[in-house]
Every structure is written in C-alpha cells, then in structure tokens.
Structure 1
Amino acid sequence: MKFDPPLVSGRLHKRYKRFLSDIRLDTGEEITAHCANPGSMMGLAKEGSRVWLSKSDNPKRKLAYSWELVETAPGGRAGINTGKANAIVEEALAEGRIPELAGYETCRREVKYGTGSRIDLLLEDPEKPPAYVEIKSVTLSRKPGIAEFPDAVTARGAKHMEELARRAVAGDRAIVFFLVQRTDAESFRVAEDIDPGYAKAFQAAVNAGVEALCYTCDISPEEIRLNRKLNL
C-alpha cells in the first residue's frame, strides 16, 4: 500500500482525546492531526518521537493531516493507523502473498454476519466453504522483538473471537489475522495480562477450530507492505 501523496515528517508533541495529536512539522509549522487508532498506543506516543503524516486535499475534512507512522528506534517504524490494516491484507491477498488464504474466487469487505458484527474480509469460492477473516492491527511491543495484542481491554475483540468460533463450528473457515505493523517484531503473543477476557476468548476460538495467522510488515514513508509470517 503506497502513500500517495508522499508522507511528511515531524515531531510529536502529544496525543490526546484518543484521536487527536499535536505535531510540529519539519517545516516548523505546528498542526493538529487525526490519530486513527482507538487503542492505548502504549510506547508509541512519546513526546519528541519522529512521526510521518499523510495530508488530504478534501476541503470537507476537519483535520487535513492524519498520523500514519512513528519511529520506534533508529531505523525502526510502526504503522499506527489501524484503518489501513484491511487494505494492506487485501492488497497482499490480491498479489498472492498469503498462501494460507489463496485459491478463493472472490473477496468482499465488511460483510454482515453473526450478531450485529461485520467480518473484515469474506473469501468465497463455489468449490469450498467460505473463509471469514478478522484482521487485528498489532502495534504493541513491551519487550524487544515481541509483538503483542491487544494493547488495551477490548470487549469488541472478544466478541469477534466468539463470532469466529461459531463459524468454525458451523463448518466454515474462520481466521483471525494478526497484522504486526512494526518492523522490529520477531515473535507474537496474546497479551493475557492486559486483557484476560480476550486471551480466554482467543484460546476458546482456537480450540473450536479458528485459525490464527500472523504476518509482519515492511514499513517506510513510501509504503506499507506485507512482509513475512511469524509463528504463534
């Protein structure tokens, strides 16, 4: 997923009210940018961090800038815009870079299912059961090289696991896809200490037949691209 137009860079002053961030651009201009991340962003919102932003030319937008990337260490980056996750995975699917999800004729986004839920991607083919793919954007890392999810309590995430488990029991494929939007991750784990409820729902879903996949990303100010699979 390429950034077009190219991102601009600056330094973070603060993130507040979850969806707002004050940033000083490299040009010296001070702006308020949209922060498209409902999580805690633990470890990613330190004052002075180098950040990269996209700019919209839509005159109807209240905030022209959106915070996209943050430097995690010299040379390391994380993608903080959770709204990009589905597009990154869908692009990789179209390019045939996720062998576990290959061989489906169609892919639809945001399809209603279960009890008031929407599945991120629904893969369908007349020769096989449908595959329900729930995508989770992963940005937390509290120990070097280890990516974790979630970074805050998520009742919604636990519900998604329960919905996927029901699809698996019914005979469909059900997949939770952890997209690690960090360049410094070597392994992944569920953060049980942060949200025991989610960890319990995740394990119950896996026991019911839900598949868990985890991939990292290559991240640069030019693009975010699916990289390689991590073992769970």
Structure 2
Amino acid sequence: PGLRVWISRADNPARKLKYTWELAEADGRIYGTDTGLPNRLVRKLLENRQLPWLTGYDEVVPEKRYGERSRVDFWLRRGRRETYLEVKNCHLLYPDGRAYFPDAVSDRASAHLRELAAVAGPRVRAHVLFVCQMPGVKEVRPSDAHDPTFAATAREVRRQGVTFSAIEVLHTPDHLTVTRRLPVSLRPYAVERVARWRKTARRPQSRSSGTAKEKEELRNLTTVV
C-alpha cells in the first residue's frame, strides 16, 4: 500500500483484467513488474544480436517444442549448432544485494532444468537466462530458502552441462535499458539469513517489533511481484 505504480491498458478482449501492472516505485527506485516482459525483451535482444554470449545464430524460434512434451522459451540454431534457452524472471532482491530465484516452490522450474540437462551435449547448448528488472543486484542465486529442490537441481544440471547467465534491466516511466550482464552463483551458502529475511517479509510488522538490525534489513528489503 502507498506505492507509486504505472499501469498500461490491455486491448486483448480475451483478458479478464484490462490493465497490466508495468512498474512500481519504492524508496526512489523503479522496478519492473510485468512478468511477460522478459520473454518479449529477450526475443528482441536475440534477434538484434545484443547478447554477446548468445549470438552467432541464424535462426531464433520462440516456444520451440521438443521431445515428447517439452517446450523451451527459445531455440537457436546455426548450422548443426543448437542452443535451448530458458528465460526466468527474477524479481526477489534481499538486503545482501543478491537476487534469488524462485520466490516460491516451483516444480515447473525444476522440470525445465532437468529437460535442459537431457538435451545438453557437444553440439547442443542448454542455457538459463535470468532477467532482473530492478536496480542494485550484484549477483543472482538459486533460493535454497524458497525452493531447495530447484536450488539442488540447478547445481546438479550445471555439472551436466547446463549454463547460466543474468542481465540487469533498469526502467524509467518512458523506457527501459539493459545495462549489464550479472554474475550467477550456484555455490552453496548459509541459508539461515535468507530464511529470516523471507520470514520477516511475510510477517506483519509493528513499529516496535524486531531488533534495530532487523528493522534496518526490513527497510532495505525489496520484493517486486
């Protein structure tokens, strides 16, 4: 409550809601809230060859079906070289300056990783790209606190050949800018502090509750849904 937000009118008659929540402002910073934007943005970046580590392809196919029941966000090909690319919208930022994915248990996200690992090989690259629509991120991590299965699966599939990267997207009310590539860390870490931040963010706070350090952490906590 009390956040400044930006919305846009949706002209799709099939939609139940006639508006899309585009942006939110908190503590003087603007955050992207449109969960459909990452795939649209990544498609343009791929077609314009603006992701240096994902260029050199002659064909970019969105929503490519493969196997019996699998579908990947983007399939890239040049000659006999292929890349299966999955895009993840990462919107959870904690006071340590790290973005965490996912923000809740996601069996589907874990399944995507296993499907990518199944196709990875000498001529087939399997890659996950996290899109962070917020400022202040220094690193992206899998969230052991929110979905330990996803975190464990991410570490497992990396050993099987799946690679990971992330980009920072900054917004103003008028435009967006892809500013930089972000590091992704799959190293194990102490989960207790992240679990505490998660619990604090979900618990109603009174003005007198919590230690001074916890209150400061809460003020610095940003969750964009």
Same fold (TM over 0.5): yes
C-alpha distance in structure 1 between counterparts of 2:16 and 2:158, whole Å: 42
Change in Cα spacing, 1:201 to 1:58, as seen in structure 2 (3 Å) is closer
Q: Gaps (5+ residues) in structure 1?
A: 1-46
Q: Is the 8 A contact 1:114 1:163 kept in 2?
A: no
Q: Is the Cα contact below 8 Å between 1:147 and 1:189 reproduced in 2?
A: yes
Task: State the TM-score, normalizing by the size of structure 1.
Answer: 0.74
Going from structure 1 to structure 2, the CA distance change for 1:49 and 1:162 (only over 3 Å counts) comes to same
> Residue in 1 aligned with 2:93?
141
* Alignment of 1:99 onto 2:52: yes
Residue aligned with 1:143, SS: coil
1:86-125 matched pairs, under 5 angstroms: 86-125=39-78
Question: Could you tell me how far apart the structure 2 residues matched to 1:115 and 1:49 are?
Answer: 45
5+ unaligned residues in a row in structure 2: which ranges? Answer: 185-225
C-alpha deviation, 1:105, in angstroms: 0.1
Identity, % of aligned pairs?
35
The question of whether the paired residues in 2 share the 8 Å contact of 1:136 and 1:179 is answered with yes
Q: 2:16 aligns with which of 51, 62, 68?
A: 62
Please give the secondary structure, in 2, of the residue aligned with 1:51. Answer: strand
Decide whether aligned partners of structure 1 residues 166 and 220 sit closer, same or farther in structure 2, where only a CA change above 3 A counts: same
Structure having the larger proportion of residues in helix? 2
- Are the structure 2 counterparts of residues 129 and 142 from structure 1 closer, same or farther at C-alpha, using a change threshold of 3 Å? same
* CA shift in 2, pair 1:60/1:82, >3 Å: closer
- Distance in 1 of aligned mates of 2:17 and 2:121: 44
Partners of 2:136 and 2:30 in 1: how far apart?
A: 8
What is the aligned residue count?
Answer: 184
As a proportion of its length, which structure holds more strand? 1
Residue among 77, 90, 94 paired with 2:30: 77
Alpha-carbon spacing, 1:160–1:57, altered in 2? closer, same or farther (3 Å):
closer
How far apart are residue 67 of structure 1 and its match? 0.7
Q: Give the TM-score normalised by the residue count of structure 2.
A: 0.76
Please point out which of 130, 133, 157 is paired with 1:205.
Answer: 157
